[in-house]
Every structure is written in C-alpha cells, then in structure tokens.
Structure 1
Amino acid sequence: MADWDDLKVFLAVARGESLSRAGRVLKLDAATVGRRVARLEEAFGARLFTRSPQGYVLTDEGARLVAPAEAIEAQMARAAEALAGPAEGISGQVRIGAPDGAANYLLPQVVARIVAANPGLEVQIVALPRVFSLTRREADMVIAVSKPEQGRVIATKITDYRLSLAASDAYLGSAPPLTSLADLPAHRVIGYIPDMIFDRELDYLADLGVEQPPVASNSVSVQLNLIRQGAGVGVVHDFALPAAPGVRRVLTRDFGLTRAFHLIRHADDRRVPRIERFAEVLVAGLRAEVARLERQSQGE
C-alpha cells in the first residue's frame, strides 16, 4: 500500500507535469522523484503517468487517483494544525492567484495588514492575467471576476467594484472635446488585446462598440500607465485611480460598469482552519479596501 510521502510526490508531479518542477517544490532531486513515482506505480499495479519529452501527463488511472490523494492531503494538513494546538494568529504559507488589477491595487495593502497582525504567516501573491487551476494547486485560493460554473470549489463573493472611462489631464488638454460617447471615435481608446481576454467579464469595450483598440495590453496596470502617459482614453477600475495622480474619470453620466470579485477555493480546504481563517480576513479586508478607494476616487 502507498504511504502519504509517495502520494505527496504523486500530487507534485501531477501539478507540475515534470520531475524537476516537482523536485523543486519537494526539495528533492529529479531522480529521487522518479524513483518514488515508480514505487507508487508498483504499489498500485498501474501506470499513473505517460512519459514524453514534454513532461509527465496523467493517465486515466492517475487522474482517478488525484481526488483521493487530495483528500488525504487535506486531512494531513488538518492533522498538522490540530497537533500544533491553538494559535494566537494565522501561520503557515498561503498562495493567492489574482488578476493584476486586484494584485497591484488591492492586495498589497490588504496583505500587509494581515501579515503585520500574523507574524507566522507567509503570503505569496501570483499576479497573472489568466485563469488559475486550483485542481493543479497553482494557488490555495484565487480572486476571480467570474464565478466558476463547475468543479469542486467554494466560491465566496467578495464585493462589487466599479469601472469608469478615464484619461489624463494632459491628454484631455490637447485632445478633441470629449463631452459625450458620440465624441469617442475621435479619441484613441486603450484596452485589452482582444485575443488575450481570458474572461468575458473583462471585455469592457464591447459596450462601447470598440472591437480593436489602437493601443492595447493584456495587463490593466499597463493600460493605466498608458493612460497616465497620455496615450488615450480607457476603462479603469475606480479603486485604481487613487494610485494614478493626474488621471480622472470622464463621461461618468454616460458610461459606467459594475463587476464583482469572487474568492475561489478548493472544496477540500473547507476544513483546513488556516485557510478558513485567512479567507475570512482577506475577504473582509478587500471589501473595506475597495470601498475606501472608490470613495477616494470620487472625491468623498
């Protein structure tokens, strides 16, 4: 019968799809990881991975083992926390995946307050404009703009947030008049690269009839910096505006969007106290920070 150490190696290889990546996570050399995988396959009498020059891919038998192995992983985490006894704060490591708008303009200050109150806590923020895989454990929790429609996950709505058209004072001072949406075709519009929009909720310019913005980036942070440099007009998170002096909202009576952030976690983490406590304080902190920054962006 397989032991937990071998199952831990199995999960690392399944998530990293290579012996070397799994080894870096486990702090083992690739040869040792390979031997452990072979031992596990022998114990189960089944081939768990297909080997190729591109890496290790789960076989049907291996895919069926993932859920039971993750259930054991969650049980081991709960056992470790139980043995550690009650703690004053949150400790251990938590990795958050987030779109770069939330990662740049919300998470730094929220996480700074959380870690200041919990010295034993280590937080990793993975800021990438894409969808994260909880199944592959790319993160312990993910901030997303769309609720997942399937999968064994826990989805908690964090808060609504607002987006507005915005431009720099320098741009507006030299550009044609912008008094209504009818004036927009005379202006350069900044937005997402259309074929790199990873979530339909991010297709902000569809409501404006703009299919191909002349200046574009897959990053909202880059878009905001382009707006700051006077490259044109774009859709901006209201909560990001306090970080962009010289940029202001325009056409506020004609255009505005509301979206929502959701915190997504693996269902097996529901009973992991460390993850539960961190999720609670993170959601509360993000709600308060979005409200504070939106008030500030509106001059309140």
Structure 2
Amino acid sequence: MDWDDMRIFLAVARADSLSAAGRRLGIDASTVGRRVARLEQALGTALFVKTPQGYALAQGGERLMPHAEAAETALAGAEDALSGPGDLGGQLRIGAPDGCANYLLPQVAARLCEAHRGLEIQIVALPRVFNLSKREADMAIAVSQPQAGRLVVQRLTDYSLHLAAHEDYLRAHPPIREREDLRGHRMIGYIPDLIFDRELDYLAETGMELAQLTSNSVSVQMQAVRAGAGLGIVHDFAIPFCPGVRRLLTEQISLSRSFWLIRHADDRRSQRMNRLADALAQGIRAEVARLQTQVAP
C-alpha cells in the first residue's frame, strides 16, 4: 500500500471534498479523485460515499481511518527521530480567532521563522472554532477551554479588555466620566447571532446597551473604534496598533479572558509538535505582556 495514497485518503476524509483536499495537498481535485479510486481498487472496497454535502466515509473508509492515522503518527515519529535536536522545520498551520491572528501571531511567527529557517507557518484567521479532528489546523488557539474531544489543551495566557474610543470621537461627543455618561453614545460590538463563543459576549457582561455598529470580526470592530465610529470593548494588546485610541472607565469596566492552545491528542507523541507548542506558547505569552505594557494606564 502506497503511503502517498493513504495521505490523500486522510485529506479527503478530513476535508469532505476532493477540491478542499487538493488545496491542502497542493494538487488538483481530479488527481485526488483518481488516487482515491486507485486506492479503492487496490483495497477492493469503497472508501467514500458521495453525498450532497461532499464525500462521507463509507464503511470501508471508517475501518481504514484509524490505521491511516496510526501510520501518519508513526511516520511523524520517524521524522522526529531523524531530525536534529535544534531543527524545527516543515509546515505548521495555526488556527486562531482574528484578534489573536492579527495582533499577536504575525510577530510570534516572524520570530519563530527567523529562529528556524526551515519552518513554514500558516496562520488561519477565522471567527469560529476549529475542528482539529478534521485537521483544519495543526494547532488552534481558542478563547475558551473545550470540554470534549481527543485533545491536548494548554492555557497560554490571560489578557485584558477595556472600553475604548478614539480621541477624535471623544472630542466630538459629551465627556465620559461615569457609567451613566455612556447613554446616547454609539457602541461597537459583535453581531449577536454570530457570537461563536460565550466568552466574546462582552457587552452582555458589562451590562451596556446593544451595539449600533457590529461585525463578526474583532479586528473590524477595532478599526471602527480607530475610525472614530464609537465606543467598543477592545483588547489591550491591540491598542498599540491604533494610535489615538485610549481606554475609558478602566476602574469600572475591565474584563479578563484567556487564550488556550489546543492540539490533537495523537500529536503529543511527536517531539516536533511538542517543541513547536512550547515555542508558540512562550511567544504568545511574551507578546501579550510586551504589548499590554505599552498601553497607558
């Protein structure tokens, strides 16, 4: 049995489509389809069932899946054993909420790539929870701790959020000295029905009015605050990127959240993945601390 065919089988099983698997592997969808058909012929059983939603595992595919994943883990272990003690090469795909992906990961990734010239880092910034069982990413950063699944979960760091506005907005509107002064001010926040994690429901926790300007992206919200469109709950670590934005009512409105690093349970047997996780964790902690110290009290 050809491992390359097995690799393609795993990609289709995780992506549920030939085209998505091909994009991940860097080959065209028709080639993926031919390779799957060849593997099915060699094994004498159907591995997938075509459905309106994509490619679902057939009974043969269900039986093959754990063996294919075990082979993948064994191959990764062999690569670990043969790599040098200082080498951290290959590809690493990190899924993260867009606030972390925009304001933290670029600097952290740059330092990792500088230290390990053979390392290729892909940052997937999406406002949703990543599915590691389908290998949408090698690691994911989340704002809440998952409660189910075969996962390795590591707390990365705590971070702070505060009410903030741009100086241009504050000059053009009535002063804000107490909570009561917030009435009548335009609020910026999440689209309520697109909040994918309860930890992101900042306005509900602070008891403020519903937002009039909303987005499912925290980075878009931050840019709206920077543009003087209103008040918003923002990450302290994002403020240094937006000159003129300053915090308000810091004694009365202050939130704390945590970032969690999530990995597939099978990856804990990989020394490479363990070392990458440690390096990523150290980098995130250091970058949050560096940026938050730049914010004026």
The TM-score by the shorter chain falls in which range? over 0.9
In 1, Cα distance between equivalents of 2:147 and 2:132: 14
**Cα displacement (A) at 1:22:** 2.2
State the identity as a percent. 60
Match of 2:12 in 1: 13
Q: Which amino acid aligns with 2:6?
A: L
Q: Is the 8 A contact 1:194 1:211 kept in 2?
A: no
- In structure 2, what is the Cα distance between the partners aligned to 1:89 and 1:239? 31
In 2, Cα distance between equivalents of 1:240 and 1:145: 16
Count of residue correspondences = 297
Residue 8 of structure 1 deviates from its aligned partner by 1.1
**Does the aligned pair in 2 maintain the 1:91–1:120 contact within 8 Å?**
yes
Question: Aligned pair 1:98/2:100, yes or no?
Answer: no
**Aligned mate of 2:137, from 136, 139, 142:** 139
Runs of 4+ in 1 over 4 A off after TM superposition: 42-46
Q: Unaligned stretches of 5+ in structure 1? A: none
| 1:275-294 equivalence runs, <5 A | 275-294=273-292
Between the aligned partners of 1:289 and 1:27, the Cα distance in structure 2 is 32
Match of 2:226?
Answer: 228
Taking the aligned partners of 2:119 and 2:236, their CA distance within structure 1 comes to 30
Among 101, 105, 108, which residue is 1:107 paired with? 105
For residues 39-86 of structure 1, the C-alpha deviation after alignment (integer angstroms, 9 at most, x for no partner) is: 433455543322135421223553454343222212111112323x32
Structure 1 contact 166–250 (Cα < 8 Å) conserved = yes
TM-score, normalising length from structure 1? 0.92
**Contact 1:49 / 1:58 at 8 angstroms: preserved in 2?**
yes
Q: Report whether the alignment pairs 1:121 with 2:138.
A: no
Q: CA contact under 8 A between 2:19 and 2:29: conserved in structure 1? A: yes
User: In structure 2, do the counterparts of structure 1 residues 168 and 29 end up closer, same or farther at CA, with 3 Å as the change threshold?
Assistant: closer
After TM superposition, the structure 1 stretch with the greater mean CA deviation from structure 2, 59-68 or 237-246, is 59-68
Q: For residue 198 of structure 2, what is the aligned residue in structure 1?
A: 200
The corresponding residue for 1:24 is 23
Q: In 1, Cα distance between the equivalents of 2:208 and 2:96?
A: 26
Q: Which amino acid aligns with 1:221?
A: S
Gaps of 5+ in 2: none
Does the 8 Å CA contact 1:89/1:117 hold for their aligned counterparts?
no
C-alpha distance in structure 1 between counterparts of 2:29 and 2:220, whole Å: 38
Take 2:30 and 2:289, find their aligned partners in 1: how far apart are those partners? Answer: 51
Where in structure 2 are the equivalents of 1:231-250 lying within 5 Å? 231-250=229-248
Aligned counterpart in structure 2 of residue 215 of structure 1, from 179, 188, 213: 213
**2:39 corresponding residue in structure 1:** 40
- Deviation, 1:104, is 0.9
Q: Is the 8 A contact 2:187 2:209 kept in 1?
A: no
For 2:69, the equivalent position in structure 1 comes to 70
1:297 alignment partner, SS class: coil
Q: Deviations over 1:165-184 (max 9, x none)?
A: 00111111111221122222
Query: What's the counterpart of residue 254 of structure 2?
Result: 256
